[in-house]
């Protein structure tokens, strides 16, 4: 008998007959329409856009499945007494209607958070103001090159929740995570990477502090066995390292750190107790520039306990050729 995800079976059983709200018909929530219908949930759709702007295939499913729906400016007027609410990342949990429902007892979550709760395998998460897409893709390519069965998803527009039936304990998931997805998240990846934290991408956050607090959720629920990887060059990363529960690994392109990885010109070096050893020659890459060398260093950090250095180097060189 093959692997059976008991947590997933338990969650599906819980959903049957429950009132479930989907807020927003973005790429992360659309796959949940089929999933929730199949497990027997009573689903209601809430979307700010008017019905005429909804994709015809999506609209057909909603009607064919007999789901209630509310579209337009006042779409949240009927958001009341739901058991579970899947919010889109752009609908922040600080919205007054979500706060009211949470106080009443509703489970407020997102597609990616619930995926992480139910995922049976190791998860590597990447966030930050810059570089998270490239870093996540580098990590994924390194792991694939090493022979792991991997899944890449999250903020890159590839929701993974409906693939959870296929994921086994020996697989590895790589998630690119935005601050909006991380807000109020109560679970953290096993290996977490924060590339940078700056005020250039806070967008709809109410403050820089709210943005930083959201980012910190990528590690705040880790265990002592987990790992947090930080770009040392961003002062905020050094500040939040104090709060880490797991092992902290730094990488830098400006400081000669005693332990971790450093970008020294066009060479990446591993630093161990003050001793530095050549790891990777960045001249072999096509993705050039200090910011990309930092992304490569982060990817090496994230996979160093899982993949030998020769395979890492080979995957990075192949990634560079394909990325161009």
> Pick from 72, 68, 20, 70: which is nearest to 41 by CA?
20
Residues 32-56: tens digit of each pLDDT: 999 999 999 999 999 999 999 999 9
Please give the average per-residue pLDDT across 163-177, as a whole number: 96
- Side-by-side strand order, sheet with 227-231: 150-154, 172-176, 122-127, 191-194, 227-231, 247-252, 260-264, 267-272, 275-281
Name the phi and psi angles at 4, rounded to 5: -120, 125
Distance of alpha carbon 48 from alpha carbon 50, whole angstroms: 7
Residues 6-38: tens digit of each pLDDT: 999 999 999 999 999 999 999 999 999 999 999
Strand partners, 46: 23, 70
**Which phi-psi region, left, alpha or beta, contains residue 17 (left: φ > 0; alpha: ψ -120 to 50)?**
left
Residue 241 tokens read as 């390292």
Residues 135-148: tens digit of each pLDDT: 999 999 999 999 99
Examine the pLDDT at 199 and tell me if it is beyond 90: no
Query: All domains of the chain, ordered by start, with CATH?
Result: 6-109 (3.40.50.720), 113-323 (3.40.1190.10)
**Which phi-psi region, left, alpha or beta, contains residue 318 (left: φ > 0; alpha: ψ -120 to 50)?**
alpha
Its pTM stands at 0.95
pLDDT of residue 324: 41
> Pick from 24, 81, 82: which is nearest to 58 by CA?
24
Strand partners, 270: 261, 277
Average pLDDT of the chain, as a whole number: 94
- DSSP structural state of residue 106: P
Residues 256-270: tens digit of each pLDDT: 899 999 999 999 999
> Pick from 240, 195, 204, 202: which is nearest to 222 by CA?
240
Strand boundaries in the chain, DSSP class E: 19-23, 42-47, 68-71, 84-87, 107-109, 122-127, 150-154, 172-176, 191-194, 227-231, 247-252, 260-264, 267-272, 275-281
């Amino acid at each position: 008998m093959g692997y059976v995800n008991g947590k997933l079976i338990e969650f599906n059983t819980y959903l049957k007959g429950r009132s479930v709200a989907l807020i927003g018909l973005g790429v992360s929530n659309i796959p949940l329409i089929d999933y929730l219908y199949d497990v027997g949930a009573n689903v209601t759709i809430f979307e700010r856009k008017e019905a005429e702007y909804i994709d015809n295939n999506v609209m057909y499913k909603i009607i064919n499945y007999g789901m209630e729906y509310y579209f337009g400016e006042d779409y949240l007027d009927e958001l009341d007494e739901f058991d579970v609410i899947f919010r889109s990342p752009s609908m922040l949990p600080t919205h007054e209607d979500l706060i009211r429902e949470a106080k009443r007892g509703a489970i407020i979550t997102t597609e990616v958070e619930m995926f992480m709760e139910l995922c049976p395998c190791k998860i590597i998460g990447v966030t930050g103001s810059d570089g998270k897409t490239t870093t996540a893709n580098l990590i994924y390519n390194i792991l694939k090159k090493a022979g792991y069965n991997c899944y890449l998803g999250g903020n890159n527009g590839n929701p993974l929740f409906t693939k959870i039936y296929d994921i086994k304990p020996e697989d590895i998931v790589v998630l690119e995570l935005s601050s909006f997805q991380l807000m109020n998240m109560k679970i953290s990846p096993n290996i977490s990477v924060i590339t940078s934290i700056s005020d250039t991408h806070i967008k709809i956050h109410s403050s820089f502090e709210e943005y930083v607090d959201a980012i910190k959720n990528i590690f705040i629920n880790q265990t002592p066995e987990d790992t947090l990887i930080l770009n040392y060059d961003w002062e905020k990363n050094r500040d939040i390292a104090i709060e880490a529960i797991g092992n902290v690994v730094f990488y830098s392109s400006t400081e000669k750190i005693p332990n971790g990885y450093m970008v020294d010109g066009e060479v990446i070096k591993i630093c161990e107790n003050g001793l530095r050893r050549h790891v990777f020659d960045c001249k072999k890459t096509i993705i050039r520039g200090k910011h990309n060398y930092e992304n490569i260093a982060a990817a090496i950090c994230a996979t160093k306990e899982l993949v030998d250095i020769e395979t890492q180097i080979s995957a990075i060189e192949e990634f560079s050729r394909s990325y161009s």
